[in-house]
Chain A
Amino acid sequence: MTPVMEVSALTTIAFWAASAMTLGFAAIVVTQRDVFRAAIALAGSFLGVGILYFVLSAEFVGVVQILVYVGAISVLMAFAVMFIQDIASGSRPAQGRLVGVAAAVLVFAALAFTAYNTEWSSQNELSPDAVVALTEGYYEVGEGDDIRVELTEPAGDNDVVVANGGAFVESTGAVGVLLVREYMLAFEIIGLLLVAALIGGLLLMRNPPSSNKTEKGDASV
């Protein structure tokens, strides 16, 4: 059985470069005393993780990583840092360094244990057809509720034929189809969740605890 993903030299180089970028920026985050520079370096580390996702051909996860983490989370952290009264003096030496080291070692041990004990070759349990569909792509014939899946392009059919790249190479499109087809309700509920997050965030930021004046202002809106 051929492996699902052949590792080329280019993949190996990209993997090591992205890993070095991730770890290098992460090292800057923990050693840099200027909190703002540490936040910028953390964004670089996030970007390295995003590149790793692209190397693993998980395009959608990579795009999410760059949009949400490099874009949004970094902005939030940069803003949070800029609200700090006293940036110039930098972060103080950490309290309880021993506890921190112990926690880091435990987390690393748990991750390493999981990675070591996972059966990574689960691709061999897939049927050959599934492997072809995931790597080479497949064809969907028909429309609406009446769609069948074929591995080769059907000839002489009047139905709508849609060529799909395999999910391993075209993960973004596959996720998009799933969002609109199988998980449409979940998709709409995500919208509701976003609204709830927005309202919750706005409520938390309003009403400075000092006075009731803001409360009155709210009522008059």
Chain B
Amino acid sequence: MFEDYFRQYALLIIFAAAAVTVPIGMLTMSYLAQFIKVRPSRPTAVKESAYEGGMPPFSSRPARFNFRYYYYALLFVVFDVETVFLFPWAVKYGVMSQQFGFAALGAVFIFLIVVTVGYAYAWRKQALEWVTNDDRS
């Protein structure tokens, strides 16, 4: 049993290793290529500036963000935690529907309705709006 458990994660480890190696390898090869005169390296101030949509950047990297982004962060956290509870249910739903029938679906359906009330509240309170009525007036 445990061998199977670790075998499935060995695939994940191989995948993660490839995902890390490919981009780092590309950057390393590009860096090494300048030593064998394949890639010329002539840095200028313009080339080294941060890319900001083609315009000269207005500010350096540590720019302050609008506080309203925090609404989205908060909503994301709440619905992320919701996913945590849906995940184990979804893993076993196939067998649970055989054993308990509609109850396995109903329990999660009620849960989702309750959480959707929170979403509706956020919507109604204009937490999802970027420009609210206060700004227009």
In the bound complex, how far is the Cα of B77 from the Cα of A151, in angstroms?
41
- Complex: chain A residue closest to B69, CB-CB: A79
CB of B74, distance to nearest CB on chain A (Å) = 5
Chain B's nearest CB lies how many Å from the CB of A62? 10
Chain B residues closer than 8 Å to A137, beta-carbon distance: 1
Q: A143-B99, A198-B78 are in contact. Are A221 and B6 (CB under 8 A)?
A: no
Q: Which of A23-31, A94-102, A105-113, A199-207 contacts B (4 or more CB under 8 A)?
A: A199-207
Cross-chain contact A202 with B77 (CB below 8 angstroms): no
B76 touches A57 (CB 8 A): no
Q: Mark B83-94, 1 if CB is under 8 A from A, else 0.
A: 111011111110
Are A6 and B84 touching (Cβ within 8 A)? no
B-contact 0/1 string along A57-86, CB 8 Å cutoff = 100100110011001110110010011111
- How far apart sit A49 and B107, CA to CA, in the bound complex (Å)? 31
Interface size on A, as a range, is: 35 or more
Tell me, yes or no, whether B65 is within 8 Å of chain A by CB: yes
Interface residue tally on B, bucketed by range: 35 or more
Nearest CB to that of A17 among chain B residues? B13
Secondary structure class of chain A's binding surface, majority of residues: helix
User: Which B residues touch A82, using CB under 8 A?
Assistant: 63-65, 69
Q: Is the beta-carbon distance between B81 and A68 smaller than 8 angstroms?
A: yes
On whether the beta carbons of B118 and A194 are closer than 8 Å, the reply is yes
* B60 interface hit (Cβ, 8 Å): yes
A11 to B126, CA, bound (A): 50
Expressed in whole angstroms, the minimum distance between the Cβ of B17 and any Cβ of chain A is 12
Given A169-B5, A199-B118, A187:B134 Cβ within 8 A: no
Whether B133 pairs with A217 at a CB distance below 8 angstroms is: yes
B58 within 8 A of A: no
Residues of A within 8 A of B5 (CB): 57, 169
A75 contacts B96, C-beta separation under 8 Å = no
- Contact B125–A75 (Cβ < 8 Å): no
Over the window 1-27 of chain B, the binary record of Cβ atoms lying under 8 Å from chain A Cβ atoms (1 yes, 0 no) is 110111001100000000000000000
Given A79-B69, A191-B114, A202-B127 in contact, is the A177-B96 Cβ separation under 8 Å? yes
Known: A10-B6, A199-B121, A202-B121. A173 touches B111 (CB 8 A): no
Contacts of B122 in A (CB 8 A): 198, 202
Q: Which residues of A contact B (CB under 8 A)?
A: 5-6, 8, 10-11, 36, 54, 57, 60, 63-64, 67-68, 71-73, 75-76, 79, 82-88, 135-137, 140, 142-144, 147, 160, 162, 165-166, 168-169, 172-173, 175-177, 179-181, 184, 187-188, 190-192, 194-195, 197-199, 201-202, 205-206, 213-214, 217-218, 220-221
Listed by A's residue number, 11 A-B pairs whose Cβ atoms lie within 8 Å are: A54-B9, A76-B74, A176-B87, A176-B89, A179-B89, A180-B107, A180-B108, A187-B85, A194-B115, A198-B78, A199-B121
